[in-house]
Amino acid sequence: MSLQKKISILGAGQAGAYAASEIRKYDKESQITIFSEESYLPYERPPLSKECIIGKKNFEELSFFSKSFYEVENINIKYQAVEKVNFEKKILITNDNQNHNYDSLLIATGSKNRQLSYDKENQDIKDNILYLRNIEDCKKIKKIIESHNKFAIIGGGFIGLEIASSISQLDKTAHIIEMGPQVMGRIIPSQIASMVSKHHENRGNSIFVNSNILSIKKIDREYQIELNNNKKILVDFIIAGIGSFANVDLFENTSLKLDNGIVTDEFCRTSEKDVFAAGDVSNFYHPFYNSRMRLESYQHAQNHGIAAARNILGQNIPYNTIPWMWSNQFDLNIQLIGICNDFDQEVQRGDSFEEGIIYIYLKNKKIMGACGIGIAGKVGRDIKLAGKISENEVEIDKKQLLNREVKLNKLLKK
Amino acid sequence: MSENNENWLEVSDESGIEVEDIVRFDHDNKTYCVYKLEDGYYATDGFCTHEAVHLEDGLVIDDEIECPMHQGIFKIKTGEAISPPACVDLKTYPVKVDNGKIFIKI
């Protein structure tokens, strides 16, 4: 019997791919297998709503690592969906009825799109609403955008706005329908939300906030969307980006503890022995905030996957990264770090997109979070520094932040 | 001296540049970054190797530069990509200071 350890990774997204690569850095012996439901090499998803739609990037460019990387590193990718997990016997069963036993399992199944709920008589409309999650969705959306002109985007979150920005850049029009009082409502400061809305409107898109959909009717080849505020929108196609939830279907009715995702500790450990979870699917304990969170972002998926890898190898490193995320719309880059909705003071630094505008949020003289907007990359440095200052719990006087002459890296080194 | 003005290009005056500052230098349709570290000046290509983002807006801590868009990190002195998503190293270039002026050799 071989003593070679078998490490299986369920899911070939950012968390899964980076976990595999990280395990191999330290462990040249173990058998590493990634199970993928898709037929592509593990790829990054952010460009799907942006560069891929406007034709600035090909799908082939999205792979995290080349085919030869996986060959050289001896990382096996099985393009087979896993249909069942037996935690007790440590076995994965794939859709070709094969059993695959594991010693350690990393679950990185990501999240799945929330779907609009519709009555049965609207089934044909429902079937034609587009969602974006993977390359196949993107191919479909791209093709439809190319051959049509007016689109409704249901949901004014990052994905919806990014697709709307891509549509506009292709000289077509997007009408964004948002239930809440502002776009990107849950997490982004209202000042930045209104700058983004204005940026879209100045480029031909329209934004309907506080808007509920009363009905969707198909009239000839168009869809008529009736909103609660007596507005009617006529479009060629409807694209929905109304959030997502942890992809845990496989684990319903199993012994794995679920609660808005897979419950994990700061070491990415789940309730099952030798089973770890990382990325979107995990509702993890964050020691710095002393609370649980489930995040859907590029950096988190990558770093959480890396952290899980190290913990699978027994390195016992807690995951304590300050959450960070970004969105690109038109020429603007929006970044958010930490927590921006729990504060007693707000400070604005900068007042143009060219130099970047940042709102920093303080509570008890400590930075809780920051959110910025600017031309590509302009806010990156100060956003990151705000995160580091927050992490180091440096006491800050609001006046220092208001003084643009004081560079944030000087505050970090106080 | 064999190293004449043809080899070295003037980047800027040294005055006002602090440790961990970055100076962007564009030449011949290419962009470069010159960094002031504790022990002197260093230079790399100006675009991140992951995506064409100007590293001049990035964060320098000690001898590392972090890209302002996706947080890939490089060693400034060697150009080595040390943190994903960056995985291709940056090119580095010699820098010298002469008479209060910074020069780069491309």
| 8 Å CB contact of B68 and A298 | no
- Say if residue A187's pLDDT is above 90: no
**A57 Rama sector, left if φ>0, alpha if ψ -120 to 50, beta otherwise:** beta
> Can you tell me the mean pLDDT for A165-183?
97
What residues in A contact B58, CB-CB < 8 Å? 377, 380-381
Determine the Cα–Cα distance for residues A407 and A385; give it in Å rounded to an integer: 10
B72 in contact with chain A, both atoms CB, cutoff 8 A: no
Determine the Cα–Cα distance for residues B54 and A12; give it in Å rounded to an integer: 30
Query: Which architecture does CATH list for A331-412?
Result: 2-Layer Sandwich (3.30)
> CA angle A302-A305-A310, nearest 5°?
130
Helix (H) or strand (E) holding B93: strand B92-93
| 8 Å CB contact of B70 and A299 | yes
- pLDDT tens-digit readout, B58-73: 999 999 999 999 999 9
| 8 Å CB contact of B68 and A377 | yes
Determine the Cα–Cα distance for residues B103 and A255; give it in Å rounded to an integer: 64
**Assigned token pair, A20:** 């595999």
- Say if residue A8's pLDDT is above 60: yes
- For residue A98, what pLDDT is reported? 97
Interface test with A, best of B48, B64, B70 (most A CBs within 10 A): B70
Number of CB atoms found within 10 A of residue A341's CB? 12
Q: Where are the domains of chain A?
A: 6-112+245-312, 120-242, 331-412
Asked if A129 contacts A118 with a C-beta cutoff of 8 angstroms, the reply is no
- pLDDT tens-digit readout, A33-43: 999 999 999 99
- Say if residue A216's pLDDT is above 80: yes
Range of weakest confidence among A124-128, B23-27, B84-88: A124-128
Asked if A335 contacts B70 with a C-beta cutoff of 8 angstroms, the reply is no
- Say if residue A215's pLDDT is above 60: yes
- For residue A38, what pLDDT is reported? 96
Question: What ipTM score was computed for the predicted complex, to two decimals?
Answer: 0.87
- Say if residue A49's pLDDT is above 70: yes
What residues in A contact B67, CB-CB < 8 Å? 377, 380
- Say if residue B1's pLDDT is above 90: no
Q: Which domains does chain B have, with CATH numbers?
A: 8-105 (2.102.10.10)
Q: Which residue from A minimizes the CA distance to B22?
A: A381
> Can you tell me the mean pLDDT for B21-46?
96
- Say if residue A408's pLDDT is above 50: yes
- pLDDT tens-digit readout, A307-366: 999 999 999 999 999 999 999 999 999 999 999 989 999 999 999 999 999 999 999 999
- pLDDT tens-digit readout, A52-66: 999 999 999 999 999
Interface test with A, best of B18, B48, B51, B71 (most A CBs within 10 A): B71
Determine the Cα–Cα distance for residues A187 and A250; give it in Å rounded to an integer: 29
- DSSP state letter for A280: G
Secondary-structure class of domain A6-112+245-312 per CATH: alpha beta
Q: How confident is the model at residue A3 (pLDDT cuts 50, 70, 90)?
A: low
Q: Which residue from B minimizes the CA distance to A382?
A: B59
The alpha carbon of residue A47 is apart from the nearest alpha carbon of chain B, in Å, by: 11
What residues in A contact B47, CB-CB < 8 Å? none
A120-242 belongs to which homologous superfamily? FAD/NAD(P)-binding domain (3.50.50.60)
Q: How confident is the model at residue B2 (pLDDT cuts 50, 70, 90)?
A: very low
> Can you tell me the mean pLDDT for A236-240?
97
Determine the Cα–Cα distance for residues B92 and B106; give it in Å rounded to an integer: 9
Q: What is the pTM of this model?
A: 0.94
Determine the Cα–Cα distance for residues A160 and A166; give it in Å rounded to an integer: 10
Asked if B104 contacts B7 with a C-beta cutoff of 8 angstroms, the reply is no
Asked if A338 contacts A386 with a C-beta cutoff of 8 angstroms, the reply is yes
- For residue A1, what pLDDT is reported? 45
